[in-house]
Amino acid sequence: MEGRVFATALQRPLSEARTTLELAAPQPATQRVTQAIRHREPHIKAQVSLAAAGVISTAAAARLISLRGRRSLAAQKSRHQARVLVSSVLRNATALEEAPQKLAEEAIKAAVATVDKDDVPGKEVLDDEGCRVSYVSHQRDASSCQQVDEDGLPLVYSVTKLNEYWGRSPGELTGRWGDFLGFATPWIAKAFGAGVTGNLKNEEANLAREAVDAMQTLGPTFIKLGQVLSIRPDVLPPAAMKELSRLQDEIATFDSDTAREIIRKEYGCELDAVFSELSDEPVAAASLAQVYKGRLLDGTEVAVKVQRPNALPTISKDLYVMRKAAGVVTELVNNLTAQSTDFKALVETFGEGLYTELDFQNEALNQIKMSELIEQTPNCKGVIVPNVFMEHTTRRVLVSQWIDGTKLSELPAERIKAGIRDAQEVFLNQLLAWGFFHGDPHPGNLLYVNSGPDEGKLVLLDFGFVAQIPEEDRDNIVTAVIHLGTQNWDGLIDDLIALKFLAQDCNRTTVTPVIQRVLRQYLVGGGAAAMNFSALGQDLLTMTTEIPFSIPPYVSLLARSIVTLEGIALKGNPSYQLVGEAYPYVVRKLLERSGDGSAQLTMALRGLLLDANGRVQSVRLSALLQAAVGVAAAASDRQGFIDFDAVPSEGADSEQLVLFLLSPSGRSVKPLIVKELATTIDLVVRSATRSGFLQFKQALKPPLPLPPVPLITPRGLKLKAPEDLLDILEPKLGRDEEIYLQSNAQVFLGLLGIEVDPNKGLDLSVSPKRVMDVLGALASQKDDDVRNAVSQLLSQRRGRGLVTEWWGDVYNNLQEVWGKRLANV
């Protein structure tokens, strides 16, 4: 398995590297590798070759490949560097098993050397006020962008300004970079070597322990990074999860006297001027701050969050280290895969979010805004946000309502399942409706309220990292889901370009087959082994070896939130599928925006509901209407990650669906289904009147001739016998129409309140008077008469409201059908 993973990651440079080895390595060394490979199993052969491929394809050794076609002198110099590198590595490796680790170390050193030489800050887009334009939520006024602390360190994230500040103290940056490399280089090399030699399983626990120890030693920035990783039990092995949990539960506190001094400095007064009580020791500690329980002078219990000392300068240096490390990753990945991700931009997005978390006043404003959005949304009443006391909140101290709660992730599975329903309601509204979402919902930030008026609800904490998504991007996310589910690959490519996963000038001929192969397995009948976001994410990464697939910075924010929520949910329900659960929200957004006139979303809605012949797919419509009223199909009802034809086994009844269609939210569906509704009404009326007329004739004792009925035709008034009139206006249903009425039309029959007994079929018995009323109305072609007759025919079947409200549009379609029949008279 491990060999296959490396084979996938290094597929592109493999053949080049083998050729390069022949050119670069001294003959004795080449023979040693060849002989060693010859006596080992196939997967070991591949691993050893791939190890060589990895280093040859990176940094200085890879220059031979990248300089192909350039000046011969430069190429000869690179060949010489490659020869020296490979020869040195193979000579210094005491055993073949050590070669991959040695090669990885040399590759990292070469990549670091390149980054040290070419290191430049990322480009920033600034607004008119000089503030960085990004997805991270900044609620404070624009003047805050220019603020600095007493030492001149920028208080608002800016790569350029931070580089300028630390450029005056290069020694500190160099020392921090050295600290990082001292941990990272041997660890990565060891992990790479273990993976290539098939020994990764045995080394998991040691590698995890060493990584967590390094994160704790390096400080808050790296602890925060570890916390992001610690919420994926379905991705990381148990040994790694056990070690990473230490970053949630074993965070060292700082001295409480120091914390009190920070509060005094921020307030400019003694603590007893604000608090009547403040706990001696913190009740909780996090990577950036620790929390005390306090009581205001009026008796209100509060949580007092105090920032760690020197957090700002430490984190600003660490972000420099991370940006530089991202440059190393970019150097390696660009040589090993077709991926075009700007890893510096990803780090800068993470870094800006982390930096912004240090501004507690901005966090408080985020918290207030989120609370207002939740309170304004009826379906989100199961989640609360603590009140904030702005008058006692500064940049480094945050005072908010005290709430007694338990981590949702620590509750029994059934309670987690119930809580996740409330959590996903809020999260999906954040993502698709509000465009304002919590970027760090780790288990410690999602609690079950144990007491008080909100007992049994969830409380969402920590709003330091909140991001905003423009409506255009939210629309593109929705259409991407629709295009994927309907297998509209051209449309999906358009969405991925709009979302910046793919370049505008990407080669669709190359890209489309790869995307089809990777994503089709998550659709109906695709057979993917796991139907969760993590599995999808891993498969998406495999595409980077074949096509230039990029990860936009804002997606890292989204992914962080999604994997956190899904990680908690999977503890309560191993079959949880966030994308499937999200369908009602996708539908809600689709209908809302198409109803508002969005051409993009209107086209997506048509693509979802209409088949190749322009007819509404009734099962899909049924699933959509159920989703629109908030009922999602259970995982057991779905046949794929995305299944638009999965109708809930226990859904809303027809009356609820009719009320939805008559509401403003249903207006975008109306143009698509009016024609199908008219077709169904025509079939119902024809079937009912013909059946009723036959019963009426049979009931006449003795049989009597019926008087002719006046019929308005394009050629004038004509008298027709009722039997002839019936054949003209209400012809007998054909076989295809019978099948449609008994199967595909069921959703429309349901909307008309007409039930279909699976054993007895369609019951359309009507009185003789109703039959004659309908025939007379159709013959007269008077709008009011037809409307009353049809409405009366359906009056006992709860569909009268829908027909009455939509009559103008329905009647236009019916007139077209009846007009064609009368044209032949």
* Residues catalogued as catalytic: 440
Given a contact cutoff of 8 angstroms between Cβ atoms, the answer to whether 406 and 530 are in contact is no
Q: Chain-centre distance of CA 304, in angstroms?
A: 33
Task: Report residue 285: phi and psi, to 5°.
Answer: -130, 140
Q: Which residues contact 440 (CB under 8 A, 6 or more apart)?
A: 353, 357, 462, 464, 465, 560, 561, 564
Per-residue DSSP letter, 732: P
Please name every residue paired with 447 in a beta bridge, in sequence order, or none if there are none: 407, 459
Q: Would you say 380 and 437 are in contact if contact means Cβ atoms under 8 Å apart?
A: no
CB 307 within 8 A of CB 282: no
Extract long-range pairs of 472-477: CB within 8 Å, 24+ residues apart.
Answer: 472/498, 473/499, 473/554, 474/431, 474/432, 474/435, 474/589, 475/589, 475/593, 475/598, 475/600, 475/601, 477/431, 477/432
How far is 311 from 119, CA to CA, in rounded Å?
25
Residue written as token pair 């760690």: 308
Strand pairing class (466-468; 436-438): antiparallel
Per the CB < 8 A criterion, the answer to whether 676 and 814 are in contact is no
CA distances from 361 to 355, 357, 365, 464 (A): 13, 9, 6, 9
> Phi-psi category of 487—alpha, beta or left, where left has phi over 0 and alpha has psi -120 to 50?
left
Residue 55 corresponds to which tokens in the numbers above?
């280093």
Query: Tokens standing for 467?
Result: 């991001």
Structural contact between residues 727 and 686, judged by C-beta atoms closer than 8 angstroms: no
**CA–CA gap between residue 355 and residue 353 (Å, rounded):** 5
Tokens of 268: 């400019």
Yes or no: say if 367 and 386 are a contact pair by the CB < 8 Å rule: yes
- Detail the DSSP E strand segments found in 136-203: none
E-strand spans in 20-148? none
Alpha-carbon distance of 300 to 305, in angstroms, equals 16
Distance, in Å, from the CA atom of 463 to the CA atom of 409, rounded to the nearest integer, reads 19
Contact predicate 346/551, CB 8 Å: yes
Distance separating alpha carbons of residues 468 and 207, to the nearest angstrom: 36
- Pairing status of strand 458-460 against strand 383-384: parallel
Q: Count the Cβ atoms, other than its own, within 10 Å of residue 445.
A: 18
**Helix axes of 343-356 and 553-572: crossing angle, nearest 10 degrees:** 70
Count other C-beta atoms under 10 Å from residue 356's C-beta: 24
Give alpha helix (H) positions in 578-669: 578-581, 583-595, 599-609, 618-628, 654-662
Residues with Cβ within 8 Å of 479's Cβ and at least 6 positions away in sequence, in order, are 491, 495, 600, 601, 604
Amino acid in the structure at residue 230: S
Handedness of CA 290, 294, 296, 297 (dihedral sign): negative
Q: Coil, helix or strand for 148?
A: strand
